[in-house]
Amino acid sequence: MSCDNFKPADVVWHDGHVQPEDRRRLFGQRPLTVWLTGLSASGKSTLAFTLERRLVDIGHACYVLDGDNIRHGLNKDLEFSHRDRTENIRRIAEVARLMNNAGLIVITAFISPYRDDRQLARTIVGAENFVEVYINTPIETCEARDPKGMYKRARAGKISGFTGVNDPYESPGTPDLTIDTSIASPSECAGKVLAEVMARIAVPEGDRQHTFRDFR
């Protein structure tokens, strides 16, 4: 008798008992992924965490997936080759999709330099839940900020594969929103994105669950 290994193809999806509509009513919001893309030091993390704070303050369930933070855990096995950057983005998009399925608003802050990778992210998350925000801060400003001294090291030839200096950045052709953090404060930038987010997450007035079954 032959014996096969248990394979991925043998795994079957198991449906849950809570529908997206239930989660929409529970949180009083539609889920959304706000995908920030831009050069290092363009202001992605600052904007992401400012926006998260604002959303939570007004009662929305929200979470930031930040490039540097994710590379400390989930993606710490990945480097900065084109292939690893693609895998980095694929995993993040899958996590964002799961969080959206859980009903949350997700803000991602990754350079995500390749157009094809961002398109893949849009496909994984689902176009209806995806907003691409291009942080179009001039490279001169990013370089002048250089909070981690990386531009300096890249210009001096001490590191290779650094986006914008010796690695490509493919800017979005038709982003949903463009933000230049060299001409507006973090709070002003977050306000602009917040307006776009609020328009997309709104659920009908009164369509929030306020009564719950007794647990006994």
Give the strand order in the sheet containing 32-37.
62-66, 105-109, 32-37, 130-135, 177-179
Residue 189 binds which of ligand ADP, Mg ion, none (CB < 5-8 A, kind-dependent) = ligand ADP
- Asked if 154 interacts with ligand ADP (CB under 6 A), we say no
- Asked if 145 interacts with ligand ADP (CB under 6 A), we say yes
Q: Which of 112, 160, 171, 185 is catalytic?
A: 112
- Asked if 108 interacts with Mg ion (CB under 5 A), we say no
CA triplet 49, 54, 59: central angle to 5 degrees?
Answer: 125
- Asked if 46 interacts with ligand ADP (CB under 6 A), we say yes
Instruction: Give the residue, chosen from 29, 37, 42, 45, that forms a contact with Mg ion under the rule CB under 5 A.
Output: 45
Residue 186: Cβ within 10 Å count:
14
Q: Are 96 and 33 in contact (CB under 8 A)?
A: yes
Shortest CB 156 distance to ligand ADP, Å: 19
Distance spanning both ends of the chain, measured CA to CA: 51
Residue 89, C-beta contacts closer than 8 angstroms, at least 6 positions apart: 110, 112, 114, 117, 118, 120, 121
Shortest CB 184 distance to ligand ADP, Å: 6
SS3 for 27-49, per residue?
HCCCCEEEEEECCCCCCHHHHHH
How big is the site for ligand ADP, counted in residues (CB under 6 A)? Answer: 16
Judged by beta carbon, residue 42 or residue 75, the one nearer ligand ADP is 42
- Of the candidates 156, 145, 174, the one whose C-alpha atom is nearest the C-alpha of residue 44 is 145
In the stretch 49-88, what mask flags binding to ligand ADP with x, by CB under 6 A? ----------------------------------------
Distance CA 131, CA 88 (A): 19
Instruction: Give the residue, chosen from 23, 31, 32, 41, that forms a contact with ligand ADP under the rule CB under 6 A.
Output: 41
Q: Are 100 and 129 in contact (CB under 8 A)?
A: yes
The radius of gyration of the chain's CA atoms, rounded to the nearest angstrom, is 20
- Asked if 192 interacts with ligand ADP (CB under 6 A), we say no
Q: Which stretch, 70-78, 121-129, 158-166, 180-188, contacts ligand ADP (CB under 6 A)?
A: 180-188
- Asked if 163 interacts with ligand ADP (CB under 6 A), we say no
Instruction: Judge whether 42 counts as a catalytic residue.
Output: no
* Active-site residue list: 112
Give the binding site for ligand ADP (CB under 6 A): 38, 40-46, 109, 145, 147, 181, 184-186, 189
